[in-house]
């Protein structure tokens, strides 16, 4: 998603910001790298599914916001990304929350390039291609979970709609477009009008500059028994 890293940084704590120290790489950053001096990796640099074919360095931090859901095999891709983290370094990855973003529909109605959905931990999911973030963490060698958080700030659950829904009338589509433009350019916010406008239908609330529907996970790589001690 465009500018999602900048959006997320606004809700970080000082402790989270402090983890992005040293040499880092941002996977799938597009036009919005997490830091100005971070090494960028996007489509023009190679295939992030197999990033170790293109990048041989190790980094103090690896960051990726809203990229893992576009990978063909998120578990395998994450293991590739993990290879880039030096012992003692950290991996940040951020993905949409399947209940708040996809809202019971896959393929995603809001982004048809999503190849998987994510949740923190469920025994069973409605999604045919769902990944538990905690299971992904457990699959990585020498991984220490620093934090996993559901970011749902300013998400209005009264607008949450699960499952397939009939298409909305043309007049509502037109009003919705006008309202989004006014909200984006002028900051206009009319919650009651918005609830009426989207009554009975699902919307992508993450289009709003202050609304989140994502999971943020931070891992630290423990030195393995085979890692030589620093001199």
Q: Which pLDDT value is given to residue 63?
A: 98
Highest-scoring range by mean pLDDT, 91-100, 157-166, 203-212, 219-228: 91-100
Q: Do 68 and 77 meet the contact criterion of CB atoms below 8 Å apart? A: yes
- pLDDT at residue number 168: 67
Q: Which two tokens stand for residue 125?
A: 């999911």
pLDDT value, residue 226: 53
Q: CA 177, CA 168: separation in Å to the nearest integer?
A: 13
CB environment 13-44: b (16+ within 10 A), e (fewer): eeebeebbeeebbbbbbbebbbbeebbbbeee
The answer to which of 21-35, 112-126, 132-146, 176-190 has the lowest mean pLDDT is: 176-190
- Walk me through the domains of the chain, giving residue ranges and CATH numbers: 4-156+211-221 (3.40.50.150)
In the predicted model, is pLDDT for residue 206 greater than 70?
Answer: yes
Q: What angle (nearest 5°) sits at the alpha carbon of residue 141, between those of residues 140 and 145?
A: 65
pLDDT at 13: 97
Average model confidence (pLDDT) across the chain: 91
Number of other residues whose CB lies within 10 A of the CB of residue 88: 13
Per residue in 62-95, pLDDT tens?
999 999 999 999 999 999 999 999 999 999 999 9
pTM of the model: 0.85
What is the rounded CA–CA span in Å between residue 165 and residue 16? 39
Q: At residue 182, does pLDDT exceed 80? A: yes
């Amino acid at each position: 998603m465009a500018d999602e890293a900048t959006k997320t940084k606004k809700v970080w704590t000082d402790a989270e910001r402090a983890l992005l120290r040293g040499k880092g790489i941002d996977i799938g950053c597009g036009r919005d790298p997490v830091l100005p001096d971070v090494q960028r990796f996007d489509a023009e640099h190679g295939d992030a599914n197999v990033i170790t074919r293109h990048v041989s360095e190790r980094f103090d931090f690896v960051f990726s916001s809203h990229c893992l859901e576009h990978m063909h095999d998120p578990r395998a891709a994450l293991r590739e990304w993990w290879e880039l983290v030096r012992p003692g370094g950290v991996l940040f990855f951020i993905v949409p929350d399947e209940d708040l973003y996809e809202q019971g529909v896959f393929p995603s109605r809001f982004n048809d390039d999503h190849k998987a959905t994510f949740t923190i931990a469920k025994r069973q999911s409605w999604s045919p291609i769902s990944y538990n973030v905690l299971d992904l963490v457990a699959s990585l060698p020498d991984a220490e979970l620093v934090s996993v958080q559901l970011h749902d700030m300013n998400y209005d659950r009264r607008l949450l709609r699960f499952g397939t829904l009939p298409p909305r009338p043309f007049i509502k589509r037109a009003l919705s477009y006008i309202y989004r433009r006014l909200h984006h350019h002028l900051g206009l916010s009319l919650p009651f009008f918005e609830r009426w406008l989207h009554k009975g239908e699902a919307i992508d609330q993450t289009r709003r500059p202050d609304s989140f529907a994502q999971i943020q996970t931070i891992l630290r790589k423990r030195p393995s028994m085979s890692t030589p001690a620093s001199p």
